Copies of this chain bind each other. A is one copy, B any other.
Amino acid sequence: MKEDKDFMRRAIALASESVRRGGGPFGAVIVKDGEVVAEGSNSVTLLNDPTAHAEVSAIREACRKLGTFHLEGCTVYTSCEPCPMCLGAIYWAGIKQIFYGNTRKDAADIGFADDFIYEELERPLEHRRLPIHPLLRDEAQENFRLWEKKSDKVEY
Chain A residues packing against B (C-beta within 8 Å): 4-5, 8-9, 12, 15-16, 19-20, 22, 24-27, 44-45, 47-51, 56, 59-60, 63-64, 67-71, 77, 79-81, 83-103, 106-107, 109-111, 113, 116-118, 120-122, 125, 130-137, 139-144, 146-148, 150, 153-156
B101/A140 in contact, CB under 8 A: yes
A48/B25 in contact, CB under 8 A: no
On chain B, the residues within 8 Å of A63 by CB distance are 48-50
As for how many copies of this chain the complex holds, the number is 2
CB distance from A9 to the nearest CB of B (A): 7
A88/B90 in contact, CB under 8 A: no
Neighbour of A92 across the interface among B9, B51, B91, B98, CB < 8 A: B51
Neighbour of A49 across the interface among B60, B111, B136, CB < 8 A: B60
Q: A49-B60, A49-B63, A88-B85 are in contact. Are A136 and B98 (CB under 8 A)?
A: no
